[in-house]
Amino acid sequence: MSFLFSSRSSKTFKPKKNIPEGSHQYELLKHAEATLGSGNLRQAVMLPEGEDLNEWIAVNTVDFFNQINMLYGTITEFCTEASCSVMSAGPRYEYHWADGTNIKKPIKCSAPKYIDYLMTWVQDQLDDETLFPSKIGVPFPKNFMSVAKTILKRLFRVYAHIYHQHFDSVMQLQEEAHLNTSFKHFIFFVQEFNLIDRRELAPLQELIEKLGSKDR
């Protein structure tokens, strides 16, 4: 969960999203970190007994945002307008940005611009107390699950871009173990609760199958 990153990679792309200490969500996060430490990721992603599914998904979504934020923060100097003029995941997959409010019609833009739009949009959702309530007893909205699915679908694209376009840089920085562990945790989580359509995962399908086969 909170992997140890080298000092040069402690800069995050966007400010870290903190879960308030002492809150129930903070306790859930600590539980998740403890079970992750056991090394069994399939077990670590399961809904803890007696817990609310929405809250479990909310806590993990915040954590994945923070992880991807750190991972992308390590390679921003290599992901530039010049090197990545389109947001892609290999030659067959290209992403155009639209958020449905500020930008309704999908626009073609560079990867750094796309990821900036994406992470800012995710941050706005996580900061919205009506969508991600942090106070005990405040219910999750009816559309929470569909918002969470959209967030995770979009966060996946950052992993896909890093793997396809920047894995050499990740290896040079000796961050591949962090990237692989983080992505494996992410994939097992979305598979456990069926949160991302299989077609969306196609750019990394081979890697997903490889990571899954090691755990059978």
The total number of residues written for the chain in this structure = 216
Amino acid at 6: S
Tell the burial category of 177 from Cβ atoms under 10 Å away from its Cβ (0-12, 13-18, 19+): exposed
Helix (H, G, I), strand (E, B) or coil at 97: strand
Rounded CA-CA distance 11/25 in Å is: 25
Q: What is the largest distance, in Å, between two alpha-carbon atoms of the chain?
A: 50
109 is in an annotated binding site: no
| Residue numbers belonging to the annotated binding site for Zn(2+) | 79, 84, 161, 166
Residues flagged as binding site: 79, 84, 161, 166
